[in-house]
A and B are shown apart, each in its own frame.
Chain A
Amino acid sequence: MIELAHGGGGRLTHELISHLFKHYFSNVYLDLLCDAAVLPRPKGRLAFTTDSYVIQPIFFAGGDIGKLAVCGTINDLSMVGAKPLYLTAGYILEEGLPYADLERIVCSMAETAKEAGVEIVAGDTKVVERGSADKIFINTTGMGWIPSDRNLSPGEIRPGDKIIVSGSMGDHGMAVLCQREGLEFNTSLVSDCAPLNSLVEAILSRHSGVRVMRDPTRGGLATVLVELAQARGLGFEIEETSVPVHEGVRASCELLGLDVFYVANEGKFIAIVSPADAEAVLRTLQDHPLGREARMIGQVVENHPKKVVLRTVLGVRRVMEMLTAEQLPRIC
């Protein structure tokens, strides 16, 4: 069990670092155990990002808070076209957290980082009194480098560009919500939590027509689309029936009165692509295990600037707004 002393800087802290973190994360930078990781300077522009993870429950179908912390930060780097290189991991642990749980999470982080070819080079651990944190909070920062020929930004978007989504929507959010609320949906609802860097590399290394990418995490697909439309000042047209959604996700959304367009995803992204490259990008995505269900879901237009318009299942158009407050499951 994790005790306050584990964060105290003394013997227990050192044991935790060597037996747990260094053991699982081991790499040439981390193993030196200096106050700071000394890294070779990457070529090209640096990308740098941070995120904190406080998800409950900490273990869920398809992942855990550790895997999420690694994937989320890797994916943020990937979205700007950066090749992720290094991560740091900062932990705030609640006194009483079972050691086995921490180990499971750390092991998961190590596996995910390894799968993604990223190294965890620095970290920190603090332990707070029981009740001062909800089991475990993790912060990861990530660094990557951007090849000089990549310039992804909303400013690149042009009318006529195609909007592509890399796979099914709503998997993560519904899996976690159903589990957290003890809904006991015994189903195949599984988080899609995954590192996207290899999928992103597959398209960016082959196709020059990718204008910008975003991953629809909190706030879902609708929020990200509206953000992009507003940033660029153009209109988007989305075809509701083209958006891939797994049956179980659709069903659980119906049961809870939630709109899948606002549900979080942790292993998917949207790419806005030139018309010339769109079909080829789609095929490249579909050839990769994480992109099999990629679909073209819409296009960029000059009409209704800054607005995202959805053509509903009835074939009628209406505006789609971004999520403004957390979706509370409807009952009445």
Chain B
Amino acid sequence: MKFIDEFRDPHLARVLVETLRQHTRQHLRLMEFCGGHTHAILRFGIRALLPPDLEMLSGPGCPVCVTSPAGLDHAIALAHIPGMIVATFGDMVRVPGSRESLQNSRAGGADIRVVYSPLDAVALAEKNSSRPVVFLGVGFETTAPGVAASILQARQHGIKNYFVLPLHKLTPPATKAILDGGEVKLSGILGPGHVTTIIGTDAWTFLSEQYGVPIAVAGFEPLDILRGISMLVDQVNDGHARVENAYSRSVLPQGNRTALAIMNEVFETCDAEWRGLGVLPGSGLRIREKYAALDASKTFPVSLTPSHEPPGCRCGEVLRGILSPVDCSLFRHTCNPENPVGPCMVSAEGACMAYYQFGEKRLED
């Protein structure tokens, strides 16, 4: 498979690792922002290849994980409205809200459909014209433009029963919050390759300019990840923090202007609550007044009882990079994919799920 297999070449990977080992001269703490990076690093066994002085922390880059309990409860409340069809990405279905998950609500008669694209949800709306279809708009800047496009398409085609519950979040504010929080001293950040395909590397210049933190934007194949880490190590050795692009086949400085324009046509920024990070100003997206008719949060008022984190859940600390999944006392015995306490163990992008699935211990070769 082109552009996939070549970037999994074991020989080139070994070379990159060798170079990394030679260049790592001090203890470094790098945050892989993306759940996708955590997943790939563990799945391919990259973690075992890295020199022991290179510590990788997982960050808040899991859109399902960072959806607040209130957001989740809102989605579940919508699911309980008689006649409602809730269309969602698969990951959301098993995440526990304050009282139940979407999956539990199915048992109570809710109609939940897993879709692969907001366009599938639009098609559902067309097919079931007498019933409202709400698509759960979860995801970062990679996903938001597509959801925006689906809203435009529904309007264009006169589809009156398609709605979106806007739960999208923006990644630069979360990165700021992690650094501002000062809980963890980062030597560098492995940046999200697909988010940056949309927002462009220019969106990350604040990291070097305001925080002096190196960032290398990387794709998700092993060679991409190793190259990104390599760039960070070299930046630290240089002492010169900047924004580097290790995913130049997909990422441009200006990003994808068409996608950004579509996103901005439908959405505007707002404050948003992140699980683990609290309310971050300007970190979320809400639907503009112009498209209020397709906004599920406006069209279907729901009364929500107070939301809360699952008791004992430490997902927030995992998402801030200050707790490794394996150090959480609930990990594995109490909290596991069959009986998840929090979202990090449910979402395929969740750090806890990745550590559970691919083995939390480094194997001695």
- Report A's interface with B, CB cutoff 8 A: 181-183, 247, 250-251, 254, 256-257, 259, 304, 309-310, 312-321, 324-325, 328-332
Scoring B residues 123 to 158 as 1 if CB is less than 8 Å from chain A, else 0, what string do you get?
000000000000000111011000000000000000
- A310: chain B residues within 8 A (beta carbon): 45
Assuming A315-B14, A320-B359, A332-B347, what are 11 further A-B pairs, CB within 8 angstroms?
A259-B43, A314-B49, A317-B365, A325-B337, A328-B94, A328-B114, A328-B348, A330-B348, A330-B349, A331-B116, A332-B62
- B89: chain A residues within 8 A (beta carbon): 331-332
Check B338–A314 contact: CB distance below 8 A: no
Q: Is B13 an interface residue (CB 8 A)?
A: yes
In chain A, what residue has the closest Cβ to B142? A332
Could you tell me the distance between the alpha carbons of A313 and B45 in the complex, rounded to whole angstroms? 9
Shortest distance between the CB of B32 and any CB in chain A (Å): 16
Contact of A332 among B46, B140, B336, B337 (CB under 8 A): B140
Shortest distance between the CB of A250 and any CB in chain B (Å): 7
Contact of B91 among A183, A250, A328 (CB under 8 A): A328
Could you tell me the distance between the alpha carbons of A306 and B120 in the complex, rounded to whole angstroms? 43
Scoring B residues 333 to 365 as 1 if CB is less than 8 Å from chain A, else 0, what string do you get?
000111000000001110000001111010101
With A314-B44, A316-B44 in contact, is A254–B1 under 8 Å at CB? yes
**7 contacts across the A-B interface (CB closer than 8 A):** A251-B1, A312-B45, A314-B49, A318-B42, A324-B336, A328-B94, A332-B64
Check A309–B363 contact: CB distance below 8 A: yes
In chain B, what residue has the closest Cβ to A325? B337
Check B116–A181 contact: CB distance below 8 A: yes
Shortest distance between the CB of A174 and any CB in chain B (Å): 14
Quick one: which of B93, B94, B363 has the most chain A CB within 10 A? Answer: B363
- B91: chain A residues within 8 A (beta carbon): 328, 330-332
Contact of B10 among A182, A247, A314, A324 (CB under 8 A): A314
CB contacts under 8 Å to A, within B13-67, are: 13-14, 42-49, 62-64
Check A319–B359 contact: CB distance below 8 A: yes
Check B116–A316 contact: CB distance below 8 A: no
Shortest distance between the CB of A72 and any CB in chain B (Å): 24
Shortest distance between the CB of B354 and any CB in chain A (Å): 11
Could you tell me the distance between the alpha carbons of A260 and B134 in the complex, rounded to whole angstroms? 31
- B94: chain A residues within 8 A (beta carbon): 325, 328
- A317: chain B residues within 8 A (beta carbon): 45, 48, 363, 365
- A182: chain B residues within 8 A (beta carbon): 120
Could you tell me the distance between the alpha carbons of A12 and B347 in the complex, rounded to whole angstroms? 50
In chain B, what residue has the closest Cβ to A247? B1
- B13: chain A residues within 8 A (beta carbon): 314
With A183-B116, A331-B91 in contact, is A321–B357 under 8 Å at CB? yes
Check B143–A318 contact: CB distance below 8 A: no
Quick one: which of A254, A313, A331 has the most chain B CB within 10 A? Answer: A331
**What is the total number of residues of chain B having a CB less than 8 Å from a CB of chain A?**
44
Could you tell me the distance between the alpha carbons of A325 and B339 in the complex, rounded to whole angstroms? 9
- A183: chain B residues within 8 A (beta carbon): 116
- B44: chain A residues within 8 A (beta carbon): 312-314, 316
Check A316–B338 contact: CB distance below 8 A: no
Could you tell me the distance between the alpha carbons of A183 and B363 in the complex, rounded to whole angstroms? 38
- A247: chain B residues within 8 A (beta carbon): 1
Q: Is B193 an interface residue (CB 8 A)?
A: no
Q: Is B222 an interface residue (CB 8 A)?
A: yes
Could you tell me the distance between the alpha carbons of A246 and B89 in the complex, rounded to whole angstroms? 27
Shortest distance between the CB of A269 and any CB in chain B (Å): 24
Could you tell me the distance between the alpha carbons of A318 and B301 in the complex, rounded to whole angstroms? 48
Check A332–B143 contact: CB distance below 8 A: yes
In chain B, what residue has the closest Cβ to A251? B1
Could you tell me the distance between the alpha carbons of A257 and B222 in the complex, rounded to whole angstroms? 16
Check B337–A313 contact: CB distance below 8 A: no
- A318: chain B residues within 8 A (beta carbon): 42-43, 45, 47-48, 358-359, 363
Could you tell me the distance between the alpha carbons of A251 and B361 in the complex, rounded to whole angstroms? 30
Check B363–A315 contact: CB distance below 8 A: no
Check B93–A328 contact: CB distance below 8 A: yes
Q: Is B8 an interface residue (CB 8 A)?
A: yes
Check A314–B222 contact: CB distance below 8 A: yes
Shortest distance between the CB of A294 and any CB in chain B (Å): 24
Could you tell me the distance between the alpha carbons of A22 and B279 in the complex, rounded to whole angstroms? 68
Q: Is B281 an interface residue (CB 8 A)?
A: no
Could you tell me the distance between the alpha carbons of A318 and B90 in the complex, rounded to whole angstroms? 26
Quick one: which of B4, B45, B91, B365 has the most chain A CB within 10 A? Answer: B45
In chain A, what residue has the closest Cβ to B61? A332
Contact of A324 among B42, B63, B337 (CB under 8 A): B337
Contact of B8 among A181, A314, A319 (CB under 8 A): A314
- A332: chain B residues within 8 A (beta carbon): 62-64, 89, 91, 138-140, 142-143, 347, 349
Could you tell me the distance between the alpha carbons of A328 and B139 in the complex, rounded to whole angstroms? 16
Could you tell me the distance between the alpha carbons of A256 and B42 in the complex, rounded to whole angstroms? 18
Scoring B residues 283 to 312 as 1 if CB is less than 8 Å from chain A, else 0, what string do you get?
000000000000000000000000000000
- A256: chain B residues within 8 A (beta carbon): 116
- B363: chain A residues within 8 A (beta carbon): 304, 309, 317-319
Shortest distance between the CB of A149 and any CB in chain B (Å): 39
Shortest distance between the CB of A307 and any CB in chain B (Å): 8
- A181: chain B residues within 8 A (beta carbon): 114, 116
Check A314–B116 contact: CB distance below 8 A: no
Check B90–A316 contact: CB distance below 8 A: no
Contact of A313 among B8, B357, B359 (CB under 8 A): B8
- A304: chain B residues within 8 A (beta carbon): 363
Quick one: which of B49, B116, B138, B349 has the most chain A CB within 10 A? Answer: B116
Shortest distance between the CB of B108 and any CB in chain A (Å): 17
Could you tell me the distance between the alpha carbons of A159 and B95 in the complex, rounded to whole angstroms? 41
CB contacts under 8 Å to A, within B171-200, are: none
With A183-B116, A312-B44, A328-B114 in contact, is A319–B90 under 8 Å at CB? no
